[in-house]
């Protein structure tokens, strides 16, 4: 039965309705407490990581035999103001080492995610939009790569070649793209079926025009929006690599290698392994709070739009 | 059903072939001469050349690959470079030590370790479900309320904990300080508890998140809204319909996240010195024991393909609309 | 209580919004539903129908809230009794059927199991066996074919009409004394909806249930109700018997409702006469079959014959309508006509040029001349582009204009379709359906096409907006000489605007005739059936008890041999089982594919049969 008598007076435009989905996602995310908390924490940590090693007079790799195994502030008997998180078995300042480690960790995390995003989304978009043989080939490769745990792939390659920061980024990025490819593919598939794409085809638009002008701008921002979560995941990976000894090599401090070193002194100087872990935990929590808040915001906006 | 299996197994075989080829090529093109690695740094060059000839390393890579596939088809994953049949790793023994010829078969090495790894993974999944089910379901039923926030917060913190670090800290606390649970090596079931818990902390954020989102989504569905008007009680609606429908995304998540689950497993085994597949792999990588790396990678891919087929079957059993 | 016979009595019921103490969705409603009576409730979209339906059985929640009044079932106030008491009434003594049968049951559980589950939930003493027997009994009563088999099938295996029957079973299985039917025919095709209405009428006598029948269609309510209430913005503005309401409406709103009803038949109603002009587009025997992998198989394919042998000439400057139920192949034909897909066999010629013979470049160029206007004004426009850019897009694609010339042409097109040029830099969010449809028209218009294919283009608009767009189409036709193809399920619309009408059934055009011939003197039995199902207050020339079909169209995967319509045709002959009728030309330019009409063909094939 046709219900032709629907009301359709021009609806009043509220400012909220005039925003693009991306703006609405951002606003929605910004309004969440968890996002604010996470963002604040992350800014503070990042700020510390960028500033403190520059203004501090201590060198993170300099050993000082006399000030070995100094505990963090207010703990034990020998604590000093100069080393707020204490020192390690070689007398190196832990706060400084953690902050330098954080620099590398965040840098590697962000670069890797960008690489994953670019490679994965490009292949996913093409695969989803073109379909047919292109799709089958790309998806089989994706399946194959998903079926090898990322970590085996990473440690195998890094175990053989020399682990430097670019190598780590390349390996993690190339190991991690398939998930992005899958997400981008299914989003492109969904977008491709929408009426307005059909409309563009009727007008005579080419595939390339449709992908770059319509599909990519619609599909990519929501995916990029939650990439923060992957930055955190990659940072954990980076620290695992460091822990096994396949991360950036000592003496450069990374969370992984500090914890690996500290593990040997757990009984007497528990803080050497614990402090970088807590530090990493805070950083990751801040990222994940932000990321999850953004993910929720995105899901709400997308649900409302559908 | 049968033709579904045929199709999926066929697809799986292609995936495995790609994996095998990729890993095989990767390990052949990297620097480092396997023959030299086997006979040891002290061996004279003639021995190295002879060994290379023996292993067929001088043939072109495609020929080697075909040969490897042939062996694979017979269930032969090759022999370890270093591990002797007896058990102990061959260390710096001389190149002409006769024990060098008695290498363990990769297949045996893998199959020896599977039961322990399965035990660890199984217990971890049980722990994870016990932790995340109540949280996830409560959050999904009360979006925006404290249950939702609690689940959100727990998930965010759990996913932020570096698992190797948690392993170290818990081992220190429970084994060294309190002496309640053993943590290093494996001498009995109690050695599985702590690693399984660490693993569960790594898995549960994904379960909590997926459950809460999918339960909240299902609760918006028309058939849930109409159910009380049809005369169903709330407890029944949640237990029989909401959770049933929400379990499908959970199953799919399990299939997709299996790879990263295995990754976490590897690390946890290393930390706790748990004699499973993970420790075998990491040690093999560190020693450049290529046949083991290759064998484990192929084995895991096969397991991945197989488990995903099971997951799809289970999902289509729950929801027959899904095509298997 | 005013009426001693009343079984459900509603007094001063009001429902508002939690956040706004003054808002009223349902405003001070009182009525009585007498035992065994059918009380109709008519209201437009947004009048509060569904809220009222659910409010009656304590079925509303956030953001809605009760603001007063009560609902008595027998002696109990449904709004205040404890949940345990409520469960004994709701779903048991009071049944509820909603407008969306497809979403009403858990998609992962067979329907039989869910009906049994419900039955045992409201009646715990019932054994599983008893409940199953009862469910099967009622499934048979609503004429669902082979109920024992369908009992174990899942909701997705049912068509919309069959699923609505299942929901009727679900409501009636407890033998309720009150049934609330909330717009139950809304999501269904006309013929299926008419079947459901007839079913409800039959069941009403069988179950002696009082029914509150809610609908947005006055003709539907009129056929079934003993008395009708008119709901406007949460208030009941008039209550009368259907006859009184139609002949002597008292309230202004009722009058305007009546005046807006489209007319199809009557002395003063005539459709436009056909024009005699050269062909613009010729469709010759096009076929389109989709191959879909059979569920759960490796490579077995189901052949879905969506369009099978359609021939159609479209004359320059005419409006031609293509009508038919869901699944008849209309949408596929639309895609073929717009050349979004190519037919597997057969040709489509535009202006004498065979489209399949063109290369990519020529095709892109020719595309400017035939444009498709899509159904949904919301999803058919890209959301991230400004209105001006959307309209400029086709000019950019074809490299027709740029710079200031581009702007001028865009503005000219906007003015021509009645869009305020100040909208140029705005996004489409917040624009009304009518405005959006005008953008659609404008962006097709800038290419100066000859042919416009309208795929249900107007069905999402209200009556007022529809007539405005008709005027626009008419104006454009006069100034630009456009030809229109209306693909539609809305018979009233087709009656009003089309010169000629093609009726589709299972991927074929079964009848093609001039407007007046088709509506007044259709030749094909399916055309008559389709017309008989159209709800209207007009004096209906095709009574539904005489022409209405039972059952539903066969699936396009398993098309019956011979005449594909014979499985439902009340007049089927023996020959229809064997021979697929060819199209017969009729005097006056129409054509029809039916053995009843074509005596010659029948005789010929009889002859052929005796010879062999």
pLDDT per position as a tens digit, C117-159? 999 998 888 999 999 999 999 998 888 888 888 999 999 888 8
Closest Cβ–Cβ partner in A8, A18, A195 for C430: A18
Nearest to C507 by CA among C555, C543, C455, C467: C555
For C226, the token pair is: 């003993």
Which of C:18-77 have CB within 8 Å of B? 54, 57, 59
pLDDT at residue C180 in the model: 93
How high does pLDDT run on average in chain C?
86
B214 and B80 housed in the same domain: no
Q: What is the largest CA-CA distance in chain B?
A: 86
Residue C610 pLDDT more than 60? no
Check whether residue B273 and residue B158 sit in a common domain: yes
**N-terminal to C-terminal alpha carbon distance within chain B:** 8
The predicted pLDDT at position C609 comes to: 52
A·B CB contacts under 8 A: 142
Average pLDDT of chain A to the nearest whole number: 80
* Least confident span in A181-195, C172-186, C220-234: A181-195
Contacts of B229 in chain C (CB under 8 A): 54, 57, 59, 90-91, 96, 98
pLDDT of A11 reads 42
Phi then psi for residue B106, to 5 deg, are -60, -40
Q: Nearest to residue C588, comparing CAs of C488, C520, C525, C540?
A: C520
Instruction: Establish if B324 belongs to a structural domain.
Output: no
State the pLDDT at residue C4: 58
Task: Give the chain B residue nearest C105 (alpha carbons).
Answer: B223
**CB < 8 Å to B155, chain A:** 292
Q: Which residues of A touch C459 (CB under 8 A)?
A: 2, 4
Residue B122 and residue B243 in one domain: yes
Contacts with A205 from chain C: Cβ below 8 Å: 393, 397
pLDDT for residue A249 is more than 90 = no
Could you give the CA distance from residue C268 to residue C359 in angstroms, rounded to a whole number?
Answer: 50
Among B87-96, B284-293, C468-477, name the one with the lowest average pLDDT.
B87-96
Question: Of residues B191 and C212, which shows the higher confidence score?
Answer: C212
At C1 the pLDDT is 41
User: Taking 80 as the threshold, does the pLDDT of residue B214 lie above it?
Assistant: yes
Q: Which residue of C has its CA nearest to A20?
A: C384
Residue A196 is assigned to a structural domain of this protein: yes
pLDDT surpasses 80 at C254: yes
pLDDT band for position C2 (cuts 50, 70, 90)? very low
A4 falls in which pLDDT band (50, 70, 90)? very low
Does residue B97 have a pLDDT over 60? no
> pTM of the full predicted structure?
0.81
Q: Is the pLDDT of residue C602 over 70?
A: no
Confidence of residue C612 (pLDDT cuts 50, 70, 90): very low
Q: C221 to chain A: nearest residue by CA?
A: A1
Residue A12 covered by a domain: no
Cβ <8 Å between A17 and C429: yes
Domain boundaries, chain C: 35-58+88-259
Residues 266-325 of C with CB under 8 A from B: 295-300
pLDDT at C501: 92
| Closest to B165 in 3D by CA, of A84, A103, A279 | A279
- Rg from Cα positions in chain A: 24
pLDDT at B86: 56
- CB spacing of B19 vs A244 below 8 angstroms: no
Task: Classify residue A150: in a domain, yes or no.
Answer: yes
Residue C363: predicted pLDDT: 87
Range of the domain at B76: 2-104
Name the nearest CA neighbour of A92 among A52, A71, A66, A62. A62
CATH of the domain at A257: 1.10.3720.10
Percent of chain B topping pLDDT 70: 90
Segment among A26-35, A140-149, C545-554 with least mean pLDDT: C545-554
Identify all chain A residues contacting B162, using CB atoms and an 8 Å cutoff.
Answer: 236, 239-240, 255, 259, 277, 280-281, 284
DSSP C262-291: PP-SSTT--PPPP----EEEEEEEEEEEEE
Mean of pLDDT values over C83-101: 88
Total domains, chain B:
2
CATH architecture of C35-58+88-259: 3-Layer(aba) Sandwich (3.40)
Select the residue of B228, B319, B324 nearest C107 (Cβ to Cβ): B319
Q: Please indicate whether, in this complex, the C-beta atoms of B230 and C118 are within 8 angstroms of each other.
A: yes
DSSP H/E element including B205: helix B190-219
- Among A16-20, A275-279, B209-213, C231-235, whose mean pLDDT is lowest? A16-20
What is the pLDDT averaged over residues C342-354?
Answer: 89
Asked if residue C375 has pLDDT above 80, the reply is no
pLDDT surpassing 80 at residue A22: no
- How does C90-100 read in b/e, with b if 16+ C-beta sit within 10 Å? bbbbbbbbbbb
Distance, in Å, from the CA atom of B226 to the CA atom of A288, rounded to the nearest integer, reads: 37
Contact B156 A149 (CB under 8 A): no
Please report the pLDDT score of residue B92 as a whole number: 45
What is the count of residue pairs from B and C with beta carbons less than 8 Å apart?
77
Structure tokens that stand for B231 in this block: 């005369």
Instruction: Using only the alpha carbons of chain C, give its radius of gyration.
Output: 27
In a domain, A24, yes or no: no
Q: What pLDDT does residue A10 have?
A: 41
Q: Are both B201 and B115 inside the same structural domain?
A: yes
Q: Is residue A225 part of a domain?
A: yes
B239 and B291 co-located in one domain: yes
Q: List CB contacts of B88: < 8 A, sequence separation 6 or more.
A: none
**What pLDDT, on a 0 to 100 scale, did the predictor assign at position A8?**
34
Residue C549 has pLDDT above 80, yes or no: no
- Among B285, B294, B303, B304, the strongest candidate for a mutation testing the A interface, having the largest count of A CBs within 10 A, is B285
Q: What confidence score (pLDDT) does residue B288 get?
A: 78
* Residues A148, B176: C-beta atoms closer than 8 Å: no
Determine the pLDDT at residue C156.
Answer: 87
CA triple C334-C335-C336, angle to 5 deg: 90
ipTM rounded to 2 decimals: 0.79
Band of the pLDDT at A100, cuts 50, 70, 90? Answer: confident
Helical H segments across A131-226, by residue range: 132-147, 150-160, 165-192, 195-203, 207-210, 216-225
d(CA B119, CA B124): 8
Is B256 in the same domain as B129?
yes
> A289: which chain B residues are within 8 Å (Cβ-Cβ)?
156
Chain-centre distance for alpha carbon B308:
13
For residue A272, being part of any structural domain is answered with no
The pLDDT value recorded for residue B90 is 45
Quick check: A1 pLDDT over 90?
no
Q: pLDDT band at C169, cuts 50/70/90?
A: very high
Question: Tell me: the pLDDT tens digits for B217-228?
Answer: 898 888 998 999
State the DSSP string of B158-193. Answer: HHHS-HHHHHHHHIIIIIIIS--S--SS-SSTHHHH
Q: What are phi and psi of C301, to 5 degrees?
A: -110, 145
C539-547 contacts: CB < 8 A, separation 24 or more? Answer: C539/C265, C539/C266, C540/C265, C541/C265, C544/C194, C544/C198, C545/C198
Cis peptide upstream of residue C63 (ω within 30 degrees of 0): yes
Measure the N-to-C terminal CA separation of chain C; round to a whole number of Å. 78
Lowest mean pLDDT of A113-117, A301-305, C233-237, C557-561, name the range: A301-305
- pLDDT tens digit string along A216-244? 888 888 888 778 888 988 898 888 888 88
Which residues lie closer than 8 Å to C475 by C-beta, 6 or more apart? none
Q: How confident is the model at residue A196 (pLDDT cuts 50, 70, 90)?
A: confident
Q: Which positions in chain B touch A299 (Cβ < 8 Å)?
A: 213
Lowest mean pLDDT, pick from A7-16, B314-323, C40-49, C539-548: A7-16
Among B104, B128, B159, which residue terminates a domain? B104
Taking the C-alpha atoms of residue B152 and residue B135, their distance in angstroms, rounded to an integer, is: 9
Are A149 and B288 an interchain contact pair (Cβ–Cβ within 8 Å)?
no
Query: With contacts defined as CB-CB under 8 Å, which chain B residues touch C59?
Result: 228-229
- Taking Cα atoms as reference points, which of B121, B149, B123, B124 lies closest to residue B135? B149
Contact C371 A203 (CB under 8 A): yes
* Chain C residues in contact with B241 (beta carbon < 8 A): 106, 109
HSE-CB of A13 using CA atoms within 13 angstroms:
11
Q: Tell me which residue range forms the domain holding A171.
A: 31-56+65-266+277-305
Are residues C106 and B320, on separate chains, in Cβ contact within 8 Å? no
Largest CA distance in chain A: 89
- For residue A178, being part of any structural domain is answered with yes
The C-alpha atoms of residue A47 and residue A39 are separated, in whole angstroms, by: 12
Q: What local confidence, expressed as pLDDT, does residue A5 receive?
A: 32
A–C CB contacts, 8 A cutoff, strictly below: 120
pLDDT of residue A9 exceeding 50: no
* Helical ranges in C208-353 per DSSP H: 218-224, 242-247, 252-260, 330-337
Cβ of B266 and A151 within 8 Å? yes
Averaged confidence pLDDT in chain B: 82
Cα–Cα nearest to A149, from A120, A178, A121, A190: A178
> Is residue B214 domain-resident?
yes
CB contact under 8 A, B236 and C121: yes
Taking the Cβ of residue C109 and every Cβ of chain B, the question of whether any pair is shorter than 8 Å is answered with yes
pLDDT tens-digit map of B239-250: 889 999 998 888
Which of B238-242, C497-501, C603-607 is predicted with the least confidence, judged by mean pLDDT?
C603-607
- pLDDT at position C39 over 70: yes
Inside any domain, residue A224: yes
Residues B230 and B305 grouped into a single domain: yes
* Inside any domain, residue B34: yes
- pLDDT, residue B85, reads 66
Which stretch of A144-158, A189-203, B29-43 has the lowest confidence by average pLDDT? B29-43
Residue B274, in any domain of the structure: yes
* CA A128 to the chain's CA centroid: 24
Please report which helix (H) or strand (E) contains residue A285, including its range: helix A271-305
Residue B248 to residues B210, B252, C111, Cα–Cα distance (Å): 10, 6, 20
CA of B235: which chain C residue's CA is closest? C121
B1: chain C residues, CB-CB within 8 Å:
296
Sign of CA dihedral C348, C350, C352, C355: negative
State the total domains in chain A: 1
């Amino acid at each position: 039965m046709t219900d032709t008598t629907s009301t359709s007076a021009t609806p009043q435009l509220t400012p909220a309705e005039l925003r693009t989905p991306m703006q609405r996602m951002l606003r929605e995310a910004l309004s969440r407490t968890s996002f604010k908390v996470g963002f604040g924490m992350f800014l503070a940590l990042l700020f510390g990581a960028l500033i403190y090693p520059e203004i501090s007079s201590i060198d993170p790799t300099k050993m000082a035999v006399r000030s070995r195994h100094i505990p963090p502030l207010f703990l034990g008997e020998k604590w000093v103001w100069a080393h707020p998180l204490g020192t390690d078995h070689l007398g190196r300042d832990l706060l400084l080492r953690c902050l330098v480690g954080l620099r590398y960790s965040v840098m590697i995390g962000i670069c890797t995610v960008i690489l994953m995003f670019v490679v994965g989304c490009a292949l996913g978009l093409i695969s989803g939009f073109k379909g047919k043989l292109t799709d089958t080939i790309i998806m089989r490769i994706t399946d194959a790569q998903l079926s090898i745990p990322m970590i085996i792939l990473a440690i195998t390659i890094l175990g053989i070649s020399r682990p430097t920061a670019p190598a780590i980024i390349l390996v993690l990025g190339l190991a991690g793209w398939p998930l992005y490819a899958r997400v981008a593919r299914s989003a492109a598939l969904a977008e491709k079926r929408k009426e307005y794409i059909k409309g563009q085809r009727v007008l005579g638009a080419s595939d390339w025009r449709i992908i770059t002008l319509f599909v990519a701008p619609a599909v990519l921002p929501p995916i990029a929006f939650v990439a923060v979560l992957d930055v955190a995941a990659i940072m954990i990976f980076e620290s695992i690599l460091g822990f096994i000894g396949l991360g950036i090599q000592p003496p450069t401090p990374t969370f992984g290698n500090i914890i690996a070193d500290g593990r040997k002194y757990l009984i007497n100087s528990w803080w050497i392994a614990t402090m970088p872990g807590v530090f990493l935990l805070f950083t990751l929590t801040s990222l994940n709070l932000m990321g999850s808040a953004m993910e929720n915001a995105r899901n709400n906006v997308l649900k409302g739009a559908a | 059903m049968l033709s579904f299996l045929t199709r999926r197994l066929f697809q799986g075989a292609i995936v495995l072939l790609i994996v095998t080829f990729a890993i095989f090529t990767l390990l052949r093109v990297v620097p480092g001469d396997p023959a030299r690695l086997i006979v040891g740094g002290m061996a004279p060059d003639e021995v190295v050349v002879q060994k290379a000839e023996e292993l067929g390393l001088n043939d072109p890579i495609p020929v080697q690959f075909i040969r490897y596939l042939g062996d694979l088809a017979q269930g032969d994953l090759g022999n370890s470079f270093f591990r002797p049949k007896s058990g102990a790793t061959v260390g710096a023994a001389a190149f002409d030590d006769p024990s060098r010829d008695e290498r363990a078969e990769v297949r045996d090495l893998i199959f020896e370790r599977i039961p322990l790894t399965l035990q660890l993974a199984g217990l971890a999944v049980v722990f994870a479900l016990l932790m995340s089910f109540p949280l996830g379901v409560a959050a999904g039923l009360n979006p925006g309320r404290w249950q939702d926030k609690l689940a959100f917060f727990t998930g965010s913190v759990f996913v932020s904990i570096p698992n190797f670090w948690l392993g170290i800290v818990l081992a220190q606390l429970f084994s060294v300080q309190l002496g309640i649970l053993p943590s290093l090596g494996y001498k009995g079931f109690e050695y599985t508890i702590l690693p399984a818990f660490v693993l569960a902390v790594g898995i549960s954020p994904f379960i909590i998140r997926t459950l809460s989102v999918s339960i909240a989504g299902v609760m918006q569905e028309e058939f849930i809204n109409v159910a009380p008007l049809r005369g169903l009680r709330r407890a029944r609606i949640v237990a029989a319909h909401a959770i049933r429908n929400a379990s499908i995304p959970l199953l799919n998540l399990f299939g997709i996240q299996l790879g990263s689950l295995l990754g976490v497993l590897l690390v946890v085994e290393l930390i706790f010195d748990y004699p499973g597949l993970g420790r075998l792999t990491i040690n093999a990588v560190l020693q450049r024991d290529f046949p083991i790396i290759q064998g484990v990678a192929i084995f895991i891919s096969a397991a991945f393909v197989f488990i995903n087929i099971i997951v799809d079957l289970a999902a289509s059993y729950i929801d027959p609309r899904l095509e298997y | 209580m005013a009426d001693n016979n009343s079984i459900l009595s509603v007094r001063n019921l009001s429902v508002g919004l939690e956040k706004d103490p003054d808002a009223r969705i349902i405003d001070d409603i009182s009525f009585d539903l007498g035992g065994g009576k059918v009380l109709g409730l008519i209201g437009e979209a947004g009048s509060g129908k569904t809220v009222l339906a659910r409010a009656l059985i304590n079925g509303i929640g956030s953001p809605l809230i009760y603001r007063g009044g009560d609902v008595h079932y027998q002696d109990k106030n449904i709004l205040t009794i404890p949940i345990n008491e409520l469960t004994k009434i709701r779903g048991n003594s009071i049944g509820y059927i909603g407008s969306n049968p497809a979403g009403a049951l858990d998609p992962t559980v067979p329907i039989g199991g869910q009906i049994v589950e419900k039955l045992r939930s409201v009646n715990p003493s019932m054994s599983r066996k008893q409940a199953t027997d009862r469910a099967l009994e009622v499934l048979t009563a609503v004429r669902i074919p082979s109920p024992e088999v369908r009992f174990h099938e899942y909701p997705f295996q049912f068509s919309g009409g069959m699923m609505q029957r299942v929901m009727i079973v679900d409501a009636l299985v407890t033998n309720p004394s009150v049934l609330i039917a909330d717009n139950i025919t809304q999501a269904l095709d006309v013929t299926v909806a008419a079947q459901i209405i007839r079913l409800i009428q039959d069941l009403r006598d069988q179950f002696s249930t009082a029914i509150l029948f809610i609908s947005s269609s006055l003709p539907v309510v009129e056929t079934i109700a003993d008395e009708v209430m008119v709901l406007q913005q949460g208030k009941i503005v008039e209550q009368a018997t259907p006859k009184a309401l139609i002949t002597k409406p008292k309230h202004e709103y009722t009058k305007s409702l009546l005046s807006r009803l489209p007319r199809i038949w009557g002395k003063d109603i005539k459709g436009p006469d056909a024009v005699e002009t050269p062909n613009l587009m010729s469709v010759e025997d096009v076929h389109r079959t989709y191959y879909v992998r059979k569920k759960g198989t490796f490579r077995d394919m189901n052949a879905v014959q969506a369009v099978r042998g359609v021939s159609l000439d479209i004359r320059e400057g005419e409006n031609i309508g293509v009508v038919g139920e869901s699944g008849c192949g209309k949408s596929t034909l639309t895609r073929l006509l717009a050349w979004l897909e190519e037919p597997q066999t057969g040709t489509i010629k535009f202006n004498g040029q065979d489209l399949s013979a063109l290369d990519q470049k020529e095709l892109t160029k020719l595309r400017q001349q035939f444009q498709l206007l899509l159904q949904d004004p919301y999803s058919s426009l890209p959301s991230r582009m400004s209105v001006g850019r959307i309209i400029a897009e086709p000019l950019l694609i074809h490299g027709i204009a740029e710079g200031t010339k581009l702007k001028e042409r865009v503005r000219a097109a906007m003015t021509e379709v009645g869009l305020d040029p100040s909208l140029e830099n705005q996004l489409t969010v917040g624009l009304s359906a009518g405005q959006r449809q005008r953008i659609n028209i404008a962006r097709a218009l800038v290419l100066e096409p000859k042919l416009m294919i309208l795929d249900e283009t107007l069905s999402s608009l209200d009556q007022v907006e529809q007539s405005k767009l008709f005027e626009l189409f008419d104006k454009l036709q006069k100034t630009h000489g456009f030809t229109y193809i209306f693909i539609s399920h809305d018979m009233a619309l087709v009656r009003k605007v089309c010169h000629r009408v093609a009726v589709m059934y299972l991927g074929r055009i079964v009848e093609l005739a001039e407007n007046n011939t088709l509506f007044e003197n259709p030749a094909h039995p399916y055309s008559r059936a389709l017309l008989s199902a159209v709800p209207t207050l007009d004096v209906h020339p095709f009574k539904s008890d005489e022409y209405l079909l039972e059952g539903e169209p066969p699936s396009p995967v398993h098309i019956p041999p011979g005449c594909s319509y014979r499985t439902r045709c009340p007049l089927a002959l023996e020959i229809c089982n064997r021979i697929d009728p060819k199209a017969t030309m009729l005097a006056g330019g129409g054509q029809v594919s039916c053995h009843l009409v074509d005596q010659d063909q029948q005789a010929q094939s009889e002859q052929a049969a005796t010879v062999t």
